[in-house]
């Protein structure tokens, strides 16, 4: 009985299984989902199941799903999607690179941080958003040795760098004679002498200047932890003087040395005191003291006082050549009267004794000289100066012929000077003819 019951149950189970297998399977309406990332190549997991790398297209059951994207050197990224039955969808996942911040400090502070040749700030300095990889910088500060530092960003943890900079200073002392000269170092003003200050190790250019003195330029080498002392004597600049006189053309003597006539400029004179002497014929000499200051120009102007006199003379006849001390000055000219010249004036005759000479080749004698003494400002007027010059040819009835000067003449007679100082009286009845001689002035 029990066996029959078990057989019955077994048959019923087999029938149920057979009937179940004959039923139709239920159809699932999947979603087509395309997944991409920026940048591409990220490993994609859906609901914890790793699929492939982006870009990737999958069929997924409708509903909510969690997508995770992972890529080396980037932070993992999760995103939620809602898939509709039978739909086509796409999702793009932006990836954020792994970065970290770096704090750089130095002792002393205030060091310039230089990265790839560009200054990015001074310590203490925080560098943000540094990507993965090795990094380097140079710390630079006046008075310190440049220091190169390096570090590496391997994850998003902040980095901390602290460096102690070594001093690169030496000491520079500059003294000048005289003091209070202006100093520039490497083109920058640094005050006046005497000078003492710490200076960076290395080559430097110093420039020293002072009014009235020649400049001084020099290259120096400063060593770390050493003192460099420079004692410099500045050289006075020469000066110049411009000398003028009224009237110009005067002789110039400075400390008894003769220079060009006025106006003139004398250069390269050492600073100090000088004695100037000016001389010009016909004028009183003038002396003056002047000073030359370093690098400066001095001007001296002198009005000369005339020390000359004047000579006035008249000759009988005109046409006489006039000489003073052997120098030809001119000839007397005809005046209103045929036997008397115009007044001949000789100006600017210097003080002292002079020789006045009158010359005519037909005169007897043909020269006449006088010694004159001229005083300052004096006008010496000479009486009419007569020179004996034959002006008439006289022919007598007895055949005698004379050449001389006709002194006087009237209707009955003439007074005729045969030679200087010898005068004869002739009646008109004795005279055959009288002829006036013509001669050219000398």
Q: CA-to-CA distance for 386 and 313, rounded, in angstroms?
A: 11
- Would you identify the CATH topology of the domain 392-436? SH3 type barrels. (2.30.30)
pLDDT at 353 over 50: yes
What is residue 23's predicted lDDT score, i.e. its pLDDT? 45
pLDDT confidence band for 12 (50 / 70 / 90): low
Identify the CATH class of 99-164.
mainly beta
Q: Which long-range contacts (CB under 8 A, 24 or more apart) does 250-254 make?
A: 250/278, 250/279, 250/280, 250/283, 250/302, 250/304, 251/278, 251/279, 251/280, 252/276, 252/277, 252/278, 253/277, 253/278, 253/279
Q: What is the pLDDT of residues 44-69, one digit of tens each?
A: 999 999 989 999 999 999 999 999 99
For domain 239-303, the CATH architecture is Sandwich (2.60)
Dig out the tokens for 176 from the structure: 């000048």
What is residue 442's predicted lDDT score, i.e. its pLDDT? 47
Q: What is the pLDDT of residues 164-221, one digit of tens each?
A: 999 889 999 999 999 999 999 999 999 999 999 999 999 999 999 999 899 999 999 9
Q: Which CATH superfamily is domain 169-233 in?
A: Immunoglobulins (2.60.40.10)
Q: b/e for 192-206, b at 16 or more Cβ within 10 A?
A: ebebeeebbbeebeb
Do 368 and 385 touch, CB atoms closer than 8 A?
A: yes
What is residue 336's predicted lDDT score, i.e. its pLDDT? 86
What is residue 5's predicted lDDT score, i.e. its pLDDT? 44
Q: What is the mean pLDDT of the chain?
A: 89
pLDDT at 14 over 80: no
Do 205 and 216 touch, CB atoms closer than 8 A?
A: no
CATH number of the domain at 31-94, please?
2.60.40.1120
Q: CA-to-CA distance for 402 and 395, rounded, in angstroms?
A: 7
Q: CA-to-CA distance for 223 and 198, rounded, in angstroms?
A: 11
Q: HEC profile for 336-388?
A: CCCCCECCEEEEEEECEEEEEEEECCCECCCEEEEEEEECCCCEEECCCEECC
pLDDT confidence band for 438 (50 / 70 / 90): confident
Identify the CATH class of 308-386.
mainly beta
pLDDT at 325 over 60: yes
| Start-end of CATH 2.60.40.10 domains in the chain | 99-164, 169-233, 308-386
Q: What is the pLDDT of residues 292-308, one digit of tens each?
A: 999 899 999 999 988 88
Mean pLDDT of 311-328: 93
% of the chain residues with pLDDT over 90: 76
Do 193 and 181 touch, CB atoms closer than 8 A?
A: yes
What is residue 7's predicted lDDT score, i.e. its pLDDT? 47
| Start-end of CATH 2.60.40.1120 domains in the chain | 31-94, 239-303
């Amino acid at each position: 009985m029990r066996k029959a019951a078990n057989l019955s149950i077994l048959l019923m189970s087999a029938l149920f299984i057979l009937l179940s297998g004959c039923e139709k399977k239920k159809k699932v309406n999947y979603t087509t989902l395309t997944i991409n990332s920026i940048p591409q190549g990220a490993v994609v997991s859906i609901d914890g199941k790793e699929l492939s790398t982006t870009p990737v297209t999958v069929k997924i059951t409708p509903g909510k799903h969690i997508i995770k994207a992972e890529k080396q050197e980037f932070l993992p990224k999760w995103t939620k999607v809602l898939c509709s039955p039978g739909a086509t969808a796409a999702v793009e996942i932006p990836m954020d690179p792994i970065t970290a911040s770096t704090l750089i400090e130095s002792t002393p502070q205030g060091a310039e941080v230089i990265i790839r040749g560009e200054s990015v700030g001074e310590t203490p300095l925080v560098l943000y958003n540094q990507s993965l990889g090795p990094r380097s910088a140079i710390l630079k500060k006046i008075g310190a040795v440049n220091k190169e530092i390096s570090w590496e960003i391997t994850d998003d943890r902040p980095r901390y760098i602290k460096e102690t900079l070594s001093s690169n200073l030496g000491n520079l002392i500059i003294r000048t004679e005289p003091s209070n000269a202006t100093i520039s170092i490497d083109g920058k003003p640094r005050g006046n002498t005497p000078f003492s200050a710490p200076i960076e190790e290395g080559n430097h250019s110093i420039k020293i200047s002072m009014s009235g003195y020649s400049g001084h330029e020099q290259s120096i080498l400063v060593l770390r932890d050493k003192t460099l002392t420079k004692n410099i004597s500045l050289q006075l600049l020469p000066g110049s003087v411009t000398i003028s006189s009224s009237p110009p053309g005067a002789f110039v003597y400075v400390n008894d040395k003769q220079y060009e006539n006025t106006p003139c400029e004398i250069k390269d004179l050492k600073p100090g005191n000088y004695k100037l002497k000016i001389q010009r014929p016909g004028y009183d000499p003038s002396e003056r003291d002047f000073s030359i200051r370093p690098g400066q120009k001095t001007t001296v102007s002198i009005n000369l006082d005339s020390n000359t006199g004047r000579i006035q003379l008249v000759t009988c006849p005109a046409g006489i050549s006039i000489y003073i001390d052997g120098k030809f000055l001119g000839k007397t000219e005809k005046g209103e009267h045929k036997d008397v010249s115009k007044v001949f004036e000789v100006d600017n005759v210097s003080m002292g004794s002079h020789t006045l000479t009158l010359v005519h080749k037909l005169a007897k004698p043909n020269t006449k000289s006088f010694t004159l003494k001229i005083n300052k400002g004096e006008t010496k007027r000479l009486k009419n100066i007569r020179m004996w010059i034959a002006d008439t040819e006289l022919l007598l009835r007895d055949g005698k012929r004379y050449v001389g000067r006709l002194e006087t003449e009237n209707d009955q007679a003439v007074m005729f000077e045969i030679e200087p100082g010898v005068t004869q009286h002739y009646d008109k009845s004795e005279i055959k003819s009288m002829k006036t001689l013509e001669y050219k002035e000398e």
